[in-house]
Every structure is written in C-alpha cells, then in structure tokens.
Amino acid sequence: MSNHDELFAMNIQPSDIVVALSGGVDSSVAAALLKMRGWNVHGLFLILPATGSTGGKRLKAVEAVTYHLKIPLEIIDLKEEFIASVIEPFISAYSKGFTPNPCVICNEEIKFRHLRLYAKQKGIPFLATGHYVKAVKRQGITDLWRGKDSGKDQSYFLHRLNQDSLSMAVFPLGEINKRYVQNIAIELDLPCRETSESQELCFLSDGNYREFLENRFGSSIDMNGDIIDSHGKRLGEHKGIHRYTIGQRHGLGIASSRPYYVKEIRPDTREVVVGRKEELFSKNVDAELFNWIGPLPSSNEPDLKAQIRYRHKAASGRLTVTGSNRVRFRFEEPQMAITPGQALVCYTGDRLIGGGWIIKKEADR
C-alpha cells in the first residue's frame, strides 16, 4: 500500500487520531489512508436528524467501514443539538429574508466542535475529516488552504474554524482529487456509500427546503405578498418570501420580454423586489462576525480574492476592516447577486484568511 505515500505526504508523526465518519466515500477513504500511514484511527459517527431510513443507512454504512478497516467506532447522538444550532437558525434566517448556509454552521458548531471535545476527552491529539482542504502549520498557527482538487475544494465551508480545531486537524484528502479517492475506495473494497455530488441539505430527503420551511412554520407563516420593481410598481404576487433568494430568475410568474431577477427581499412588508440582470451587480459587500484564521492581513496583501457563495469564482478586490469583526470587501469588478445570509470568504492566493456573514447594505434596509 506504500504506492499511495507520495500523494499523502505529511510532516506529522503518526499518532492516535479520531476521524468523523459519515458512511460516504470521502470520510471512509480518509480513515483508510490514515491507517495505511500507521495512525491509530478511532471512528466517530454523529447521529444527526435525517428523514425516513436515511439515518439508519448511514450508521450501517459506517459500521461496515469500521469493521472492514478494523478500527473502533463511537456513536454520539446530536439530533437535538443539531436542531437547536442548525435547523432553527436556518428557519429563522428565511423568515427574515436571508439565504442561510447551514453547512458552514454545522461544521463549526456540530462536527468540529464535537470531534474536538471527544478527542480531548479521550486524550487523542489529532482529529480528521474527509474534507478536500489542506492544513499547514506556520509560525505557531495552522493555516487553511484550498484542496488540490479545485472542483471539490471545501475550504469555503470551513472558514469559521478556530485554532483550537485547526491545530489538531489532519485532512488526508487535501492533496488528492476525487477520482483518486474513488479509485482507492474500489482498490480497498471499502463498503461505503456512493453519495450524491450535489450540495443538498443533509436533513432534507429531496432538497425541497420550501416545503420543509412551510411544514415547520405551520400556520404562523405569512405567505402572500407583492412582487414589485425597483420603483415600487406592483408586478405580481408571491406565496411567501422564503421561496425566493437574491438572483433567482425562475418561478417569479411575471410576463415580460426580458427576464426579471430577485433583487431584494423585504420581510417587514413581505415584498419581493425584482430588477433586470444589470441591476444585480455590485462592487461592495459588507460582512459581520468575521472569523480570522490567523493574524489580520496587511492592507497590501498580495493576490487578495473573495467568494460570495460556494460556487462563485473568487474575484480580486480590497479588504477593509470597518469595525469589531466587521469588514468590507470592494471587488475590482462588479459581482452579481450578493446575497445576505451567505458567507464572504477571503483568500490570499489559495490560503484562506477568514470569512463572515454577508449583511444587507444600508440602502437595502
């Protein structure tokens, strides 16, 4: 198995390590690679809310993988904590006209927090996940870098991690690509699930968050409201602001020779403001609760770029600290559909320097 060593180079002496397992290919291969390199691997499965038989299938897959790899497994039930920390804020955000990113919160508040707590409780010095990112130690801190596979890089979702977690973190998949991971799973005959590559929310069976929200809101949800243009002209009616997000084009029900896009959501008046595509571009984005991975960068940091959503191509600009844990990023070129509730994540080259939650502009309030 030593033929994989060159693609899994690490400057850390193998020791005890706890690996978050989901039953999927990525986490299973991460555990397998660690064991191949001589680590004493402990598996940890976190029970989270799931629909139907999904949760049971995940656990059975994890049990099959740990049996195959001959590693111990511990199980922690976090359903109630997940509801309080992830699902309830998710629901609240939509009711306020924001578009939340629960995966970011889950990584910070659920996965890495409990990995770290479990590791410290058991005296295990390291923790690992199957994320496609790299952790690099530098001058007493641990930096977070994009994964080698640019199509799978998941650093955006981990921008809120602190040094307590990062200093213990090992990411076995950071230097390899998805196809190689799949080949390892086949080569080792790992009994893991082939999970979907989509970014669907793990607590939804079909990705239909609108139906999920309406079921959770129940009769308390205020549904109907007006769709208006930037000048206040009424163009139609909607069935709930939770059904819309900034930049949305389809499902507006407006007859027009040119398409309209959602430009703004006003929860107080239950209005959805639409505009033409050119109205959705902006250079400035403000973010709060900004989490710095390391020290604050200098004002002339080279190759500074930012993303405003996971699949957004990072674009160049200038970062300014505007207050306590608040920043403004000014893009060199206007970006489309900057969405409150999503994360602004900043990089210098491929090194992640921090991220925060996008807030509404003063003009939008």
Domain boundaries, the chain: 2-187, 222-275, 280-364
Question: Helix (H, G, I), strand (E, B), or coil: what is residue 24?
Answer: strand
Average pLDDT along the chain? 90
Neighbours of 92 (CB within 10 A): 11
H or E stretch covering 56: helix 54-69
364 band by pLDDT with thresholds 50, 70 and 90: very low
Question: pLDDT tens across 65-85, in order?
Answer: 999 999 999 999 999 999 999
pLDDT for 336 equals 97
Q: Is the sign of the CA dihedral 248, 250, 253, 257 positive or negative?
A: positive
Among 2.40.30.10, 3.30.565.10, 1.10.287.40, 2.60.40.1180, name the CATH number for the domain at 280-364: 2.40.30.10
Phi/psi of residue 213, nearest 5 degrees: -65, -45
Question: Helix (H, G, I), strand (E, B), or coil: what is residue 201?
Answer: coil
For the whole prediction, is pTM greater than 0.85? yes
Q: With contact defined as beta carbons under 8 Å apart, do 22 and 58 qualify? A: yes
Exactly one of 103, 192, 202, 346 is catalytic; name it.
202
Among 3.20.20.140, 3.40.718.10, 3.40.50.620, 3.30.160.40, name the CATH number for the domain at 2-187: 3.40.50.620
- The beta strand positions in 115-233, using DSSP E, are 126-128, 133-138, 141-146, 169-170, 225-228
The CA angle 91-97-103, to the nearest 5 degrees, is 45
Question: pLDDT tens across 311-358, in order?
Answer: 999 999 999 999 889 999 999 999 999 999 999 999 999 999 999 999
346 is catalytic: no
Q: With contact defined as beta carbons under 8 Å apart, do 35 and 64 qualify? A: no
pLDDT for 221 equals 63
- CA-nearest of 73, 85, 75 to 110 is 85
106 is catalytic: yes
- CA-nearest of 332, 248, 321, 330 to 290 is 321
Averaged pLDDT for residues 195-208: 64
Residue type, 75: I
User: What gap in Å lies between CA 365 and CA 362, rounded to an integer?
Assistant: 5
pLDDT for 6 equals 40
Q: Say which residues have a Cβ less than 8 Å from residue 42's Cβ, sequence separation at least 6.
A: 16, 17, 18, 19, 71, 72, 74, 122, 124
Exactly one of 103, 106, 192, 346 is catalytic; name it.
106
Q: Which CATH architecture has domain 222-275?
A: Roll (2.30)
pLDDT for 189 equals 95
